[in-house]
Amino acid sequence: MFRFLSKISVFAKIFKECREFNLGPWQCPTFVFFVLGMINIAAMIATYLIAKYYTEPEFVALIVIGVATFFFLISYSVTQGFDQLAKANKMKTEFVSIASHQLRTPLSAMRWTINLLEDNRVGEMGEEQKKYLALVKEGNERMIKLVNDLLDVSRIEMGRVLLQPGQTNLYVLIEKMVKDLSAVAQAGSIAIKLEAAETLPNVYADPSKISMVIQNLIDNAIKYSRGRGEINIKAEKEGKFVKVAVRDQGVGIPENQQKQIFQKFFRSDNTLKNQTSGTGLGLFIAKSVVEESKGKIWFESKANEGTTFFFTLPIYSL
Partner 1 sequence: MQTILFVEDEPTLQKALGLALAQEGYEVKTAADGEAGLQLAREVKPNLVLLDLILPKMDGFEVLEELKKDDATKNIPVIVLTNLESSQDIEKALVLGASTYLVKANYDLKDVIEKVKENIK
Least distance CB 147 / partner 1 (angstroms): 7
- CA-CA distance, 260 to 262, in Å (whole number)? 6
Nearer to partner 1, 104 or 234 (CB): 104
CA distances (Å), origin 82, targets 35, 88, 89, 91, 304: 16, 10, 11, 14, 50
> Collapsing DSSP states into helix, strand and coil, what is residue 114?
helix
Contact 171, 196 (CB under 8 A): yes
* Interacting residue ranges for partner 1, rule: CB under 8 A: 97, 100-101, 104-105, 107-109, 111-113, 115-116, 119, 121-122, 144, 147-148, 151, 160, 162
Q: Shortest Cβ distance from residue 94 to partner 1 (Å)?
A: 10
Element (H, E) at 232: strand 230-238
Q: What angle do CA 87, 91, 96 make, to 5 degrees?
A: 155
Q: Which is nearer to partner 1, 8 or 109 (CB)?
A: 109
Q: Which is nearer to partner 1, 44 or 162 (CB)?
A: 162
Asked if 193 and 232 count as a contact pair (C-beta separation under 8 A), the reply is: yes
What's the min distance (Å) between Cβ of 265 and partner 1? 21
| Least Cβ distance, residue 161 to partner 1 (angstroms) | 10
For partner 1, which is the closer residue by CB, 104 or 264?
Answer: 104
CB of 235 to partner 1, least distance (A): 27
CA–CA gap between residue 201 and residue 187 (Å, rounded): 33
Instruction: Name the residue nearer to partner 1 (CB basis): 103 or 196.
Output: 103
Asked whether 211 and 281 are in contact (CB, 8 A), the reply is no
What's the closest the beta carbon of residue 216 comes to partner 1, in angstroms? 16
Which CB, 87 or 160, lies closer to partner 1?
160
The dihedral region occupied by 260, where left means phi > 0, alpha psi between -120 and 50, and beta the remainder, is alpha
